[in-house]
Amino acid sequence: MNNNILIKHASQLITCSGFQAKQGKAMSDLHTIEDGAVVIENAMITAVGKSETVLAKIDEAKFESIDANGKAVLPGFVDSHTHFIFGGYRAEEFSWRLRGDTYMAIMNRGGGINNTVQATRIASKKELIESGKKRLDSMLSFGVTTVEGKSGYGLDSETEIKQLEVMKELNHRHPVDIVSTFLGAHAVPKEYKERKDEYIDFMIQKVIPKITDRQLAEFCDIFCEKGVFSVEQSKRLLVQARNAGLKIKIHADEIVQLGGTELAAELGAISADHLLHASESGIKALADTGVVATLLPGTAFGLKEPYARGRYMIDQNCAVALATDFNPGSCFSESIPLVFALATLYMNLSIEEAVTAFTINGAAAIDRADTIGSIDVGKSGDVIILEYPSYQYIPYHIGVSTVEKVIKNGKLVFDKGRSERTHT
């Protein structure tokens, strides 16, 4: 199939133009072009503008032409925080939470992350690849063209590496690009109970060198939380990971206000994630340093917890990204439109800010804002076409995908109008 594509006569061409995260008020500017056109040649965007202007400069016969009349066109969505490679499921824990059990209470009695660890340790690579591919197919149908995936369901050397190897394999096989994150410090494994410092030493001395030697991950993350890993332990791991060549992220201040947000700013992390209980000083520090605040309203929804203060963070000039946090426990959902709806209804983001948060700011949260996340000349040809004439339909059609077509690197890889996906 020709990967030279022309998209013309878009009702709205939402470019989200930019090459770095947008902070504060800038998140509202989507750089919309009416009757817009995009030209993609050899996987790269080569022209963007009004259809009349763009069409006057090209030979349309050389392109696979898509008429987007009556449809909105946007950059491919970037889901910058997921845990999509895992074994087993935890449906029973959802029922436990319905009767009042808290996330940490379930975790402390052997459920939660450690439950998934057991299932992931015994799962074969083939099984993880097959389930991972199905999840990527679903993400693609929601318009996701790049996804971040974390390990963290091994809590040992062998399984952490297995998860990262699976992601590397799927990155070669599947059109959705996968950015891998090492999250060995996701919980304390049973064999290291009461020996957290020794476990951090194990990660630093035994696991990170294997991962960096084989280039299996780009980022290192840690669950900085009361009862899991302290600020001091988190800092020690992240500093050593950075010294080894990994970029850093932090699960920060999700359950209680501990200081992970401030640590993210201090270390210059690419992103600080969750942030349900981030302090005033922590939020200010994120704004001052440009660390992306990645918010996960689907998780707050699933846990019946207060939402992160997204409106306040933007008003304080933070760069906010949105992501699904797709995982088998606290948020078993890859629904981009559900997250849009939650962010706008319960975190008081405007629809425009939510679009920015899932495109250019999502790209910035994985250090890709220079190559994806917007429809700009020189960027990868990652574009989605909606069934409707406006981006406003994304949260309006609550939880249901409005994406009709997905173009990845200049190739049509999903088309809702066809009985099967177009990629193999």
Identify residue 364 by its one-letter amino acid code. Answer: A
Is 91 part of any domain?
no
pLDDT tens per residue, range 165-202: 999 999 999 999 999 999 999 999 999 989 999 999 99
pLDDT value at 138 more than 70:
yes
Give 402's Cβ-side CA count (13 Å radius): 22
pLDDT value at 157 more than 60:
yes
CB distance 293 to 318 below 8 Å: yes
Average pLDDT over residues 57-76: 97
CB atoms within 10 A of CB 245: 13
Residue 375 and residue 355 share a domain: no
Residue 388 and residue 332 share a domain: no
Tokens, residue 232: 């001091």
- Assign 1 a pLDDT band (cuts: 50, 70, 90): very low
CATH of the domain at 13: 2.30.40.10
pLDDT tens per residue, range 164-175: 999 999 999 999
CATH of the domain at 285: 3.20.20.140
Tokens, residue 300: 């707050």
Average pLDDT over residues 375-403: 98
pLDDT tens per residue, range 98-130: 888 887 788 777 788 889 999 999 999 999 999
Is 422 part of any domain?
no
| Alpha-carbon gap, residue 144 to 154, rounded angstroms | 26
Instruction: Give the model's pLDDT for residue 2.
Output: 58
pLDDT value at 334 more than 50:
yes
Instruction: Give the model's pLDDT for residue 310.
Output: 98
| Alpha-carbon gap, residue 414 to 235, rounded angstroms | 42
Tokens, residue 173: 């096989």
Q: Coil, helix or strand for 31?
A: coil
| Alpha-carbon gap, residue 265 to 261, rounded angstroms | 7
pLDDT value at 422 more than 60:
no
Extract the runs of DSSP E, i.e. beta strands, from 51-114: 64-67, 72-75, 77-79
| Alpha-carbon gap, residue 109 to 130, rounded angstroms | 30
Instruction: Give the model's pLDDT for residue 369.
Output: 98
pLDDT value at 419 more than 70:
no
Q: How confident is the prediction for the chain on average, in pLDDT?
A: 96
Residue 273 and residue 311 share a domain: yes
Residue 111 and residue 58 share a domain: no
| Alpha-carbon gap, residue 84 to 297, rounded angstroms | 17
Q: Coil, helix or strand for 339?
A: helix
pLDDT value at 424 more than 60:
no
pLDDT tens per residue, range 16-56: 999 999 999 999 999 999 999 999 999 999 999 999 999 99
Residue 213 and residue 192 share a domain: yes
| Alpha-carbon gap, residue 263 to 326, rounded angstroms | 24
Rounded to 5 degrees, what are φ and ψ at 140? -60, -40
CB distance 260 to 281 below 8 Å: no
Tell me which DSSP letter residue 84 carries.
-
| Alpha-carbon gap, residue 235 to 259, rounded angstroms | 11
Instruction: Give the model's pLDDT for residue 111.
Output: 80
| Alpha-carbon gap, residue 119 to 113, rounded angstroms | 10
Extract the runs of DSSP E, i.e. beta strands, from 51-176: 64-67, 72-75, 77-79, 144-150
Sign of the alpha-carbon torsion through 58, 1, 72, 366: negative
Domain count, the chain: 2
Residue 128 and residue 191 share a domain: yes
Residue 390: C-alpha distances to residues 100, 311, 356, 408 (Å) = 40, 23, 15, 21
Residue 204 and residue 334 share a domain: yes
Residue 403 and residue 296 share a domain: no
CB distance 156 to 121 below 8 Å: yes
| Alpha-carbon gap, residue 423 to 104, rounded angstroms | 41
Is 82 part of any domain?
no
- Assign 423 a pLDDT band (cuts: 50, 70, 90): low
Tokens, residue 338: 């559900």
Residue 153: C-alpha distances to residues 66, 88, 178, 224, 371 (Å) = 42, 11, 17, 16, 30
Identify residue 223 by its one-letter amino acid code. Answer: F
| Alpha-carbon gap, residue 352 to 30, rounded angstroms | 7
- Assign 421 a pLDDT band (cuts: 50, 70, 90): low
Altogether, the residues listed in the chain come to a count of 424
pLDDT tens per residue, range 285-305: 999 999 999 999 999 999 999
Instruction: Give the model's pLDDT for residue 45.
Output: 98
106-142 burial, b if ≥16 CB within 10 A, otherwise e?
bbeeebbbbbbbeebbebeeeebbebbbebbeebbbb
Residue 250 and residue 384 share a domain: no
Q: Which residues contact 85 (CB under 8 A, 6 or more apart)?
A: 120, 128, 131, 132, 149, 151, 153, 163, 166, 167
Question: Domain containing 325: what range?
Answer: 96-364
